[in-house]
Amino acid sequence: MKSHEDHLSKGSTVSTGESLFAGSVSGALARAVTAPLDTIKIRLQLQSMHGTKTPVLKLVAQLLRREGVSALWKGNVPAEILYILYGGSQFASYSVLDKAFCQIQSDFNVDLPSSFHSLFVGSGSGLVSTLVTYPFDLLRTHLAANNTKSFVPMTAKCREIYANFGVLGFFSGLRPSLLTIVSSTGVFFMTYSVARDAARWAKKEMGHEVWGVEAICGFVAGTVSKATTFPLDTIRKRMQISHRKRVREMLVEHWKLHGLRGFYSGFGVSLLKTAPTSALSMAIYEYTITATRKVRAF
């Protein structure tokens, strides 16, 4: 495999247009591959709201028996829109913030290590992408949580949320979502930066490129970020469904009912989904930019 530039390195020359296009492509393709795992993850995160705790394999068997194979793709339309918008806005804002933060460091004669630079820039990109895509994330959660055999159209769910909660209903659970995703995205890009630095060191020591370095580093980054922020993600999903409960109220209630382990309900399946998604997303993003530059060079 040929060596590829790290298009997310500090001070990268990637333009906003390039990152917007590549991010949208990576989001769409990564989601298409991992949609069933996302549905199972959401069901596991939400099941204890109803006082149940079903093992993963039993949950999948029940879902397939009661709702059919197509149930694994419930909520996929808003999720595809979500991933395209999220991927595009995340990587585009990362590109913009990277350049701005580099300029600020230059103005103040400061040079942060690349890992800390990526932490701050990644957190900012997570904030932007969450605000842009949140209503679709909420719709995805509601549609995936539907445990009846019939599909609920996205438009019908939109009308239901609006009728019951108004416009603000589409932003239910936004605060814990911001905390979760900003933290997760910051940790993700910081870990990716550290992993790419390690890969460059390995290349220097071995004399050749690490095969699939983008995917490997994305896999590692996805695993670390998910492990550190999963409890917040669990609370976020439950607040999206409950609408009226506050963060502290939800935390206390969940702790009393399920203890610490309850905050990691569905973590195994979530990791099985997140790590491959991150690997695919980063590999597709990096290769899309490389490919588009080659096409433009002709």
State both tokens at 115: 């890992």
Q: How many domains does the chain have?
A: 1
CB atoms within 10 A of CB 171: 15
Indicate if the pLDDT at residue 52 is higher than 70: no
- For the chain, what is the radius of gyration of the CA atoms? 20
Please tell me the predicted confidence (pLDDT) of residue 149.
64
Q: What percent of the chain has pLDDT over 90?
A: 46
Phi and psi at 146, nearest 5°, equal: -65, 115
Rounded distance, CA 279 to CA 103, Å? 30
Are 45 and 59 a contacting pair, CB within 8 Å? no
CB atoms within 10 A of CB 199: 18
Alpha carbon of 167 to those of 78, 111, 159, 163: distances in Å?
Answer: 17, 43, 10, 9
Indicate if the pLDDT at residue 269 is higher than 50: yes
**DSSP string for residues in 151-167:** PPPHHHHHHHHHHHH-G
> Is residue 25 one of the residues assigned to a domain?
yes
> Is residue 285 one of the residues assigned to a domain?
yes
Cα Dmax for the chain: 63
> Is residue 85 one of the residues assigned to a domain?
yes
Residue among 179, 235, 189, 225 nearest 46 (CA): 235
Which residue carries 């910051």 as its tokens?
186
Question: Which residue segment(s) compose the domain that 255 sits in?
Answer: 16-297
Please list, in sequence order, all residues whose beta carbon lies within 8 angstroms of the beta carbon of residue 230, skipping any fewer than 6 positions away. Answer: 263, 264, 267, 270
> Is residue 8 one of the residues assigned to a domain?
no
Instruction: Read off the pLDDT of residues 74-111 as tens digits, 9 standing for 90 and up.
Output: 777 777 888 899 999 999 999 999 999 999 999 999 99
> Is residue 34 one of the residues assigned to a domain?
yes
Phi and psi at 229, nearest 5°, equal: -120, 5
**pLDDT band with cut points at 50, 70 and 90 for residue 1:** very low
Please tell me the predicted confidence (pLDDT) of residue 3.
44
Check residues 165 and 33 and name the one with the higher pLDDT.
165
Residue among 265, 216, 209, 289 nearest 50 (CA): 265
Q: Is the dihedral of CA 222, 227, 233, 238 positive or negative?
A: positive
Residue among 197, 187, 265 nearest 223 (CA): 187
Please tell me the predicted confidence (pLDDT) of residue 90.
97
State both tokens at 290: 């490389």
**pLDDT band with cut points at 50, 70 and 90 for residue 162:** very high
> Is residue 5 one of the residues assigned to a domain?
no
> Is residue 112 one of the residues assigned to a domain?
yes
Residue among 190, 79, 206, 218 nearest 125 (CA): 190
> Is residue 3 one of the residues assigned to a domain?
no
Please tell me the predicted confidence (pLDDT) of residue 272.
80
Indicate if the pLDDT at residue 66 is higher than 80: yes
Alpha helices in 70-113 (DSSP H): 76-107
Which residue carries 């530039």 as its tokens?
5
Among the ranges given (40-49, 55-64, 118-127, 176-185), the one the predictor scored with the smallest mean pLDDT: 40-49
Indicate if the pLDDT at residue 198 is higher than 90: yes
Residue among 113, 127, 100, 97 nearest 19 (CA): 97
* Structural element, H or E, at residue 125: helix 114-145
> pTM higher than 0.85, yes or no?
no
**DSSP string for residues in 33-56:** HHHHHHHHHHHHHHHGGGT----H
Which residue carries 């949208």 as its tokens?
24
What single letter denotes the amino acid at residue 85? L
Could you say which DSSP state residue 212 is in?
Answer: T
Question: What is the domain-level CATH number for residue 216?
Answer: 1.50.40.10
